[in-house]
Amino acid sequence: MSEPALQSKDGVRDVGVQEAEAPRKEANIPPKEQCVEMYRWMVKIRAFDQRCVRLQRQGRIGTYAPLEGQEAAQVGSAFALAPRDMMFPTYRDHGAMAVHGVPLERILLYWNGRVEGTDYPQDVQVFPPAVPIGTQIPHAVGYAMARQYRGDTGIALGYFGDGATSEGDFHEGLNFAAVFRAPVVLFCQNNQYAISVPFSRQTATQTVAEKAAAYGIEGIRVDGNDLLAVYAATRHAVEKARRGEGPTLIEAYTYRFHSHTTADDHTRYRAAEEVELWKSRDPIRRFRAFLEARRWWDDQSERALADEVEERIEQAVQTMEQWEAVNPADMFNHCFADLPEALREQEEELSEVLRGGDRS
Ligand SMILES: Cc1ncc(C[n+]2csc(CCOP(=O)(O)OP(=O)(O)O)c2C)c(N)n1
């Protein structure tokens, strides 16, 4: 097992990367109502995530990408956005998407393979999740530049993983953002693996944040399992972008508790001790301890929340299952007005299989 992944927080070289911290001053801690609301969201998306894994195992949705362990990174950053700000997520960011207004039903429909799963309410400022790694980075930058050009104060936030930093899109996106001072926040959830590839094989730098220096922008590294630290760092970057002071690269150092997707087996490439260590840094347990110390939360509130969340998720699942069964041939229907020959052949072949014809 690669040791730098576990040590990188302590092993950061002095490359001018700012290490963000949770606000120490009382005045900088969000009000009780917001803290409780952020906690409720973390609990809700974890329960939703666990339910999605079970739904996949039961064959009720398709392959699914779990986010458990990354709740603080997603909720803390999404809370820093205003409703008018546009979010560019990946396939693992449905926690952040839900916070920014995407209904759970739509997220389930997406994982059920339905195109309607990316059809969000008009006022919800979220792009469909990017599955090709890194493509959403130049999208977010270009979108932010367009808003700037139009003179409005909306900004963009693009999510990506540590693996995406090896893509050309990452470098091109950051360079453009920096040169044109685009009002964008580039938010990397460094969960230390790109499927089975550990961070130490992804890059020779110790951190993602230090890469910002090469583009002439600010880089911030934050404990991605610390909700308040993530919120504070992202708010700083969002407000800076809104003031016209350009982009920020944020690296939220975190860990995914489970496999890359339900089609992956993480025990093949991660030691059980490493996973256990990170589970002991559970972002939800950490924030609950903070709330309880202030007497803002107790067992009774936790039980009431669990019931409420269960009911809400059940309702979303039932809505998803009321839709007629997905038609796999839909995948040919939404990109081309006239299907190219090669795709037409594949469509015919698929139709044949669906009609129960020759599968050989
Ligand atoms: C352009 C491209 N290359 C390869 C893949 C296959 N792929 C899917 S997920 C993934 C790993 C991405 O890791 P990371 O960016 O760290 O995000 P994470 O899945 O850890 O959230 C890869 C290589 C892809 N989807 N797109």
Catalytic status, residue 269: yes
Whether 233 and 34 have beta carbons less than 8 Å apart is answered as no
Count the residues in the chain.
360
Known catalytic residue: 260?
A: yes
Residue 187 contacts by C-beta under 8 Å, 6 or more apart in sequence?
77, 157, 158, 159, 160, 234, 250, 252
Question: From first to last of its 360 residues, what are the pLDDT tens digits of the chain?
Answer: 333 333 334 333 344 567 777 776 777 899 999 999 999 999 999 999 999 999 999 999 999 999 999 999 999 999 999 999 999 999 999 999 999 999 999 999 999 999 899 999 999 999 999 999 999 999 999 999 999 999 999 999 999 999 999 999 999 999 999 999 999 999 999 999 999 999 999 999 999 999 999 999 999 999 999 999 999 999 999 999 999 999 999 999 999 999 999 999 999 999 999 999 999 999 999 999 999 999 999 999 999 999 999 999 999 999 999 999 888 888 898 889 999 999 999 999 999 998 886 655
- Ligand 1 neighbours by CB, cut-off 6 Å: 92, 131-133, 160-164, 191, 193-195, 260
Exactly one of 92, 221, 235, 256 is catalytic; name it: 256
Q: What is the pLDDT of residue 360?
A: 57
Report how far apart, in Å, the C-alpha atoms of 215 and of each of 163, 177, 179, 238, 239 are.
19, 9, 8, 19, 20
Taken in order of first residue, the domains within the chain and their CATH numbers are 3-326 (3.40.50.970), 328-360 (no CATH)
What's the pLDDT score for residue 325? 85
Give me the residues paired with residue 20 across strands.
Answer: 222
Q: How far apart are CA 256 and CA 271, in angstroms?
A: 13
Structure tokens at 114: 């339905």
* Tokens standing for residue 83: 């409703």
CB-based burial label for 329 (10 Å; 0-12, 13-18, 19+)? middle
The alpha carbon of 161 and the centre of ligand 1 are apart by a number of angstroms equal to: 8
Longest CA pairwise span in the chain (Å): 68
Closest of 87, 92, 79, 18 to residue 52, by C-alpha: 92
Q: Read off the amino acid at residue 140.
A: A
335 alpha carbon – ligand 1 mean position (Å): 22
> What is the pLDDT at residue 330?
86
Distance of CA 261 from the midpoint of ligand 1 (Å):
11
Say if strands 156-161 and 193-194 run parallel, antiparallel, or are unpaired.
unpaired
pLDDT value, residue 356: 85
Q: Is 113 left (phi over 0), alpha (psi -120 to 50) or beta?
A: left
Query: What's the CA gap between 360 and 357, in Å, rounded?
Result: 9
The pair of structure tokens assigned to 13 is 């070289």
Catalytic residue among 236, 260, 270, 288: 260
Q: Which of 153, 152, 159 is nearest to 127 (CA)?
A: 159
DSSP, residue by residue, 281-347: T-HHHHHHHHHHHTTS--HHHHHHHHHHHHHHHHHHHHHHHHSPPP-GGGGGSSS-SS--HHHHHHH
Residue whose CB lies within 8 A of the most ligand 1 atoms, among 64, 67, 97, 195, for a mutation test: 195
Task: Say whether 91 is catalytic.
Answer: no
Residue 268: CB atoms within 10 A of its CB come to 8
Cα distance between residue 192 and residue 8, in whole Å: 10
Helix 168-179, helix 136-150: angle, nearest 10: 20
The β-bridge partners of 189 are 161, 252
Which candidate, 274, 13, 247, places its Cα nearest to that of 138? 247
Ligand 1 pocket test: which of 92, 133, 187, 191 has the largest number of ligand atoms within 8 Å of its C-beta? 133
Angle of helix 32-57 relative to helix 283-293, nearest 10 degrees, comes to 150
Q: What distance in Å separates the CA atoms of residue 185 and residue 140, rounded to the nearest whole number?
A: 9
> What pLDDT is stored for residue 327 in this prediction?
85
Scan for tokens 């990316």, then name that residue. Answer: 118
CA nearest ligand 1 atom 7, residue: 133
Read off the tokens for 248.
């920020």
Ligand 1 atom closest to residue 167's alpha carbon, by position in its atom list: 1
Q: CA–CA separation, 149 vs 7, rounded Å?
A: 43
The torsion of the CA quartet 120, 123, 125, 126, rounded to 10 degrees, works out to -10
Strands 86-88 and 197-198: unpaired
Q: Give Cα 37 to chain centroid, integer Å.
A: 19
